[in-house]
Structure 1
Amino acid sequence: MGALQCNSRGGLHPCLDNTEALRHIPTRHYEHRERHCPEESPSCLVPLPQGYRRPVEWPRSRDKIWYKNVPHTKLAVVKGHQNWVKVSGEYLTFPGGGTQFIHGALHYIDFIQRSVRNISWGKRTRVVLDVGCGVASFGGYLFERDVLAMSFAPKDEHEAQVQFALERGIPAISAVMGSQRLPFPSKVFDLIHCARCRVPWHAEGGALLLELNRLLRPGGYFVWSATPVYQKLKDDVEIWRAMMALTKSMCWELVTIRKDRLNSVGAAFFRKPISNECYDSRQQKAPPLCREDDDPDVAWYVSLQSCMHRVPTEASERGSRWPEEWPRRLRTPPHWLNSKLGVYGKPAPDDFTADYEHWKRVVSMSYLAGLGIEWPKVRNAMDMRAVYGGFAAALKDLKIWVMNVVDVDSPETLPIIYERGLFGIYHDWCESFSTYPRTYDLLHADKLFSTLKQRTVNHCKLLPDTNQILSMVFLQVQRDSCGRGGRQDTEAGGKLIVRDEQKVVSEVEDVLRSLHWEVPLTFSMGREGILCAEKSDWRPPETLRSSS
């Protein structure tokens, strides 16, 4: 299979840089920053930046990254005085502050804990959504409190803020709150946070705040740290009044308002109800309750709904009670699995436990010792077919975070992943994943390609004149939207682990070798094959650059 090198923009963000589609997209609800994928995915290789180096290792990367890996200075100019990012010689440095926590993220995180002790970082509160994350320093320092934060920000005029976060080793995705639901199931985040929040929560009938309501667990907190909370300018006062009216109509309890005197900011703490009593007693039924046939977990290209779903109250329902404290929730089958059949055919709790034990065994006996991977150098990982999140769970004691991806046509297991204190995202592997080039140290694909090969999807635009599996491998793994940069002298590149049918693994190996990846290890056990590959820095000659 031949390969071309992308031009300066081709292939970087295929679904966010679709200039042809964007010509016809309105901007009123930020539709121009949502996903608009081209009919055919780019089939070119993203060039490495001149002077690219293997990323700084965690935890040092939280404080500094190589400037030439992400050579953007706009944020340093615009936000330098607020301690977001600074240029320091060969590095971009991140002092740990931000607009709302100039004196350090850890102080701000502890301020939140002191304000509402029931938040209980790292025990009751484990999985957080950080809206409009900037360079994600809040999420980066939450690791100190044993908390995972799914941070997101749009691809906008503040160039590369999410790319900065990922280069630092902090979880983040490019996403925007616009006209569509975010790609997460309902009732999964323990806490949602927004600092210096300029999101118009009160506009359009509160549609965007109602989306947060969909995502927040019953009993979970929304922490709003914004100027309307603590300033008295006319616009701030009007926004605060509108927010108070909206949150009251949504039955959110205003638990407290606190002022952080060191940072001279304040935060309002709202709590989602744990029963339907308030919903049923409202005199004004606005916003309305959602129709009973509206599935709150369906979120892939689904328009925002300006309504609220009822709180689950039956003991057998997901969301009717809080998960076990971390880390017990990692290994405990969710209580609401009891009446269901699992993905692999056993009763769901037994399926969950068997999957957990399977991945603990595979990781400890094979992956950690037998694949030649320097695990201390792995920070950002993606499980491209996560099922129950067993692979991520087995890596708990390493300094690694895992983005668990559940395909939109797969069994609905993403809520289970969140219930056990991990996180993930819905995705359709027929399309580009919304991330920047060179952002993951390791990709893990367990039976992903054989599953895709068996799937009948008319909307999948595959490469011409090749079979399906080769196209899937080329478009979804090697397009460079995920794997870190490759070998430079003795510095290792990003890794790929594939577990699949022997024939599929052989086809994957052929594709990777044609693209000059190192494939130091392949072996088989029964009908299953395993491959471990390492990305190289090879690119086609400059004269073969793609014009797409």
Structure 2
Amino acid sequence: MEHRERHCPDPNPRCLVPLPSGYRIPLPWPKSRDMVWYNNVPHPKLVEYKKDQNWVRKSGEFLVFPGGGTQFKDGVISYVEFIERTLPTVEWGRHIRVILDVGCGVASFGGYLLDKNVITMSFAPKDEHEAQIQFALKRGIPATLSVIGTKKLTFPDNAYDLIHCARCRVHWDADGGKPLLELNRIPRPGGFFVWSATPVYRDNERDQNIWKAMVALTKSICWKVVARTLDSSGIGLVIYQKPVSPSCYDKRKNNNYPPLCDQKDGKNSSWYVPLSHCLSLLPVDSMGNLFSWPVPWPKRLSSKPPSLSTESGAVEMFYEDTKHWSDLVSDVYLNDLAINWSSVRNVMDMNAHYGGFAAALIDLPVRAMNVIPIDVPDTLSIIFDRGLIGIYHDWCESLNTYPRTYDLLHSRFQFRNLTQRCDVLDVIVEMDRILRPGGYIVVQDNLEIINKLSPILHSLHWSLTLYKDQFLVGKKGFWRPTFGETKS
């Protein structure tokens, strides 16, 4: 999988991505979940490759997503309900709020879980099926390009409530079990892994050898099987649970292998970090107490996050931040800025801190990807505790996504740090790449920074408005330079 991992160009390209012929403004949510303009993602290969599995069909000017899948023989809604019947503890949208879908295909699993107040980070690599993640984002479903290869995923430790894999084509026992050890790192204690794959329910030699390897590996990391069953179509799944206490780790038979990771490995160091052979530690606070599961959704959005610092004033700072964003979004963002919110679905907060901006948008039909830059304090665990999703990123590099996949990019007092590390022009070109025509940026910053950004955005033919000398709103147009045209 190494050749499918992140490989950023150096230096960053300063060219503008052309629009596909016939590009149109995306359909609004929730219509976009079920269909997108074909000319916006003109990729017919997956339609042909998966035509018998009802993933995606071409219908006139549209690509239509019927909610099928390799493992969803009776449709994704039936499959989602089957999981909850198999393990009622799941309680979609109350106990289980934040999910990672490994090898998500076109992300129908995550798309239909949104109806149950579950938010899913869907991921898959760019592979022979063409742009599955681009399909997902065009549909308005949170997703990112990623693969379990040689480096850790860009998520914090102990973050997800549940991880899902339906025929995700990951060899969990490869390289001494490194892929499964990485998977063990990211669910919270007591979190679940739903594995729907042929080794669970087929008895041929190949599948049974994989199953035996999985049994041995899951025992070695103290996962327990809490359910294993078949649905009416003969598709089977097994549900594992991560331990809530480290007591099992010292009782393992095989010489305590894999070993526990050293504390010095760092709490959430996963940016460009190689996969390891060790078992990540369960989280504890400064007093050595194990973290509790967050309170049920939706209370967890505004409650004290389990991973919040125990330092004096941390709780007050968190609640003040929550109130600040609630007031600011209500008073300014929704009323005073030149944004048509009915056209916005995919939002990215480029410097999310506690996720307050995303939390303040929770009642709108938008979904925010929260980004914690690698050069600021790490608060991504807090964002996941709140029932939101996010990733780590270095904004001096390209983002791991396709062009034109976001409707609004939000940046708050971020560019001063960036200008000390890289050229602001590179960052603007990358923002232009990932924002769709007709999409918006909102930059809250001082006038010095705004005066640096405005000429660059004007040169790209963006329309700009400034509110109270600190909120710069840019709207991207359809302009692209023609051959031979130069622009100062």
CA offset at residue 451 of structure 1?
A: 2.6
Per the alignment, in what secondary structure is the counterpart of residue 11 of structure 2? coil
For the pair 1:535 / 2:487, whether they are aligned, the reply is: no
> C-alpha distance in 1, partners of 2:144/2:307?
29
**1:51 and 2:22 aligned:** yes
Amino acid at match of 1:524: K
Cα distance in 2, alignment partners of residues 371 and 292 from structure 1? 46
Q: Compute the RMSD of aligned alpha carbons.
A: 1.6
**1:393-408 aligned within 5 A:** 393-408=359-374
Cα drift, residue 436 of structure 1: 0.5
Within 1, Cα distance between the matches of 2:258 and 2:412? Answer: 43
Amino acid at match of 1:477: M
Shift of 1:398: 0.7
Which position in structure 2 is the counterpart of 1:292?
263
- Higher relative contact order at CA 8 Å, sep ≥6: structure 1 or structure 2? 1
The answer as to whether partners of 1:41 and 1:475 remain within 8 angstroms in 2 is: no
Asked if 1 retains the 8 angstrom alpha-carbon contact of 2:136 and 2:143, the reply is: yes
In 2, Cα distance between equivalents of 1:318 and 1:391: 30
TM-superposed deviation, 1:202: 1.4
**What count of residue pairs does the alignment treat as equivalent?**
486
Q: CA deviation at 1:544?
A: 5.1
The two structures have a TM-score, normalised by structure 1, of 0.86
What is the match of residue 92 of structure 1?
63
- Displacement of 1:210: 0.5
Which residue of 2 is the match for residue 254 of structure 1? 225
Q: Distance in 2 between matches of 1:512 and 1:104?
A: 45
Q: Kindly, what percent of the aligned residue pairs are identical?
A: 52
Where do 1:171-190 residues align within 5 Å?
A: 171-190=142-161
- SS of the equivalent of 2:263 reads coil
- Which amino acid in structure 2 is aligned with residue 355 of structure 1? D
Partner of 2:324: 358
Unmatched 5+ stretches in structure 2: none
1:372 deviation in Å?
Answer: 2.8
Deviation at 1:247, TM superposition (A): 0.4
1:412-437 deviation per Cα after TM superposition (whole angstroms, max 9, x unaligned): 11111001000100000110001101
- Structure 2 Cα separation of the partners of residues 41 and 234 of structure 1: 48
The answer to whether the 8 A contact 1:205-1:287 is kept is: no
C-alpha deviations, 1:106-137, integer Å up to 9, x for none?
11111111111111111111100000001000
**Partner Cα separation in structure 2 for residue 316 and residue 377 of structure 1:** 47
Letter in 1 for 2:123: F
Within 5 Å, give how 1:99-498 maps onto structure 2.
99-261=70-232, 263-284=233-254, 285-312=256-283, 316=287, 320-337=291-308, 339-340=310-311, 347-453=313-419, 455=420, 457=421, 460=422, 462=423, 469=424, 471-478=425-432, 480=433, 482-485=434-437, 493-498=438-443
Which ranges in structure 1 are unaligned for 5 or more consecutive residues? Answer: 1-29, 342-346, 463-468, 486-492
Contact 2:158 2:283 in 1 (8 A): no
Conserved? CA contact 2:134–2:402, under 8 Å: yes
Equivalents in 1 of 2:426, 2:415: separation in Å?
Answer: 7
Secondary structure in structure 1 of the residue aligned to 2:165: strand
Q: CA deviation at 1:370?
A: 1.1
Mapped to 1, the partners of 2:133 and 2:311 lie a distance apart of: 38
Q: Give SS of 1:510's match.
A: helix
Q: CA deviation at 1:224?
A: 0.2
**Structure-2 change in CA distance of 1:38 and 1:366 (3 Å):** same
Q: Distance in 1 between matches of 2:343 and 2:110?
A: 20
Match of 2:466 in 1: 522
Aligned 8 A contact 1:450 1:501 in 2: no
Q: Hey, what's the Cα distance between the residues in 2 that align with 1:318 and 1:297?
A: 18
Residue aligned with 1:80, SS: coil
SS at match of 1:255: strand
Q: Distance in 2 between matches of 1:503 and 1:112?
A: 53
Structure 1 contact 214–296 (Cα < 8 Å) conserved: no
Q: Which of structure 1's runs of 4+ aligned residues deviate more than 4 A?
A: 313-319
Residues 1:224 and 1:377: Cα distance change in structure 2 (over 3 Å) = same
Separation of aligned partners in 2, 1:418 and 1:178: 23
Cα deviation for residue 289 of structure 1 reads 1.2
Residues 206-242 of structure 1: CA distance to partner in whole angstroms, max 9, x if unpaired? 1001101000111000000000101112111111111
**Could you tell me whether the CA contact under 8 Å between 2:38 and 2:63 is conserved in 1?**
yes
TM-fit CA distance, 1:371: 1.3
Q: Residues 500 and 537 of structure 1: is their aligned pair in 2 closer, same or farther, counting only changes over 3 Å?
A: same
State the TM-score, normalizing by the size of structure 2. 0.97
